Structure 1
Amino acid sequence: MQALQSSLFDTADAPTLGDLQSRHRRYLDGSAWVDQVPGWACGADDVLETLLHEVPWRSERRTMYDSVVDVPRLTCFYSAGEALPHPMLVDMRERLTEHYAPELGEPFVTAGLCLYRDGSDSVAWHGDRIGRSRTADTMVAIVSLGSARHLTFRPRDGGRSQRLSLGHGDLAVMGGACQRTWDHSVPKTSAAVGPRISIQYRVAGVR
């Protein structure tokens, strides 16, 4: 895997989290939105290295048409109450809950991790619609560590797609009707990119 090149703007000596008040809210339509905070997790190079080497990553296989294929990324899921693999992930969850709970109405409790090893790893179009999010609005917060990749969005019923680039330490929070009415993906890329870890925080009963 290609080594990570740290951001030129990431000068923190120790991992720190930025100010969520600086978030920029981007409306996909009248009911779905995405908040973005570039560089929210500062000085996170050591966090990335810890996660790369100490998380018990697992490879999944899924049935696609008449074949069973490898899922093009590695995953690990931490349920509510389960110890997270680095203290900064706990700090992230607490800060996100503190900021968004008044609007969300409940805390973030689970953490799903995905490892995109290089540009050939990806995730297909989908929405996090397992559980309550199938019929009710919710939020899913994503912290991206490592190489920059595109997070793309398209309406479930068809229409023009949109995308944003997530770099090392960037935060994106999908909210409103985003999971119900839009799909999102991380497409493959032919660019020479290194590993990227996506940390997804969700509320109880949503996957």
Structure 2
Amino acid sequence: MSIPFTASLLDGLFDGPELGPLAGHVERLDLGEGAWLDLVPGWARDSDALFERLVTDVAWQADRRTMYDRVVDVPRLVASYGAGDALPDPMLARARDELNDYYALERGLPVEQRFERAGLCFYRTGDDSIAWHGDSVGRAIGRDTVVGILSLGAPRTLAVRSRSTGVTRRFPLGHGDLLVMGGSCQRTHEHAIAKTTKAVGPRISVQFRPVWAA
């Protein structure tokens, strides 16, 4: 698969895709209600080469799901990797391992919340989107969970809003940015990427989750 893509102006400054440090570079945003976000802009450097590899190498699937009384196409391509599955690029395995090391050592993340699974979403154009939602297990069982999102390719806006107050925050994510949602975020907040009529390039979202979070 190939797709038109405009590279980041910062790409090419390094010898290839690499991950920056996390310690001392993570910005914590307290959302209230026990929820928080961590942000690391440009964590994956020279990430456009990784984006292009994933476009080509991943076995993308076009899902369908039931909505009300009919079956509809999911407006994005997806791929899923379970605990123990080989990830489609060594860079993603390194990202998962570095996230686990940082959150275990710096944040005291419990073993049961370690990142074990990965889901990939390919947003090809502004018509591709994801509706408001929270990860179902974390929301349903009253348990805190952590979800790490590595954004590759052109920026798209991830919106996060409180279920109780409706307060919404928006984060343009792309070209190697990292966002981690934690605490009660999946229960007390929901997130979405809306359709847009603006001219936007393609984006891949890589979501790292614990083995029990859907």
TM range (shorter): over 0.9
CA contact (8 A) 1:133 1:179 kept: no
CA deviation digits over 1:124-168, x for unaligned, max 9? 000012368731111000000001011101112342211111121
CA distance in 2, matches of 1:62, 1:69: 6
User: In structure 1, which of residues 19, 22, 26 is the aligned counterpart of residue 21 of structure 2?
Assistant: 19
The answer to whether the 8 Å contact 1:155/1:183 transfers is: yes
Which stretches of structure 1, 4 residues or more, deviate above 6 A after TM superposition? none
1:188 equivalent in structure 2: 195
CA distance in 2: counterparts of 1:137 and 1:131, whole angstroms: 6
Equivalent residue for 2:60, pick from 57, 66, 69: 57
Whether the aligned pair in 1 keeps the contact of 2:51 and 2:152 (CA below 8 Å) is yes
Secondary structure at the aligned position of 2:182 is classed as: strand
After alignment, is 40-49 or 129-138 more displaced?
Answer: 129-138
Contact between 2:138 and 2:145, CA under 8 Å: does it hold in 1? no
- Residue 75 of structure 1: how far off its partner (Å): 0.4
Cα distance per residue 1:84-134 (max 9 Å; x no partner): 111000000000000012422122111100000011100000001236873
Listed as ranges, the gaps of 5+ residues in structure 2 are none
Q: CA deviation at 1:169?
A: 0.2
Q: Secondary structure at the match of 2:52?
A: helix
TM (norm. structure 1) is 0.94
The alignment covers a number of residue pairs equal to 207
The residue number in structure 1 matching 2:93 is 90
Segments of 5+ residues of structure 1 without an aligned counterpart are none
Distance 1:132 1:190 in 2: 31
Structure 2 residue identity aligned to 1:47:
L
SS of the residue 2:63 aligns to: strand
Alpha-carbon RMSD across the aligned residues, in angstroms, is 1.6
Larger deviation: 8-17 or 148-157?
8-17
| Secondary structure in 2 matching 1:172 | strand
1:142 aligned partner, one-letter code: I
Identity between Structure 1 and Structure 2 (%): 51
Q: Which amino acid aligns with 1:32?
A: A
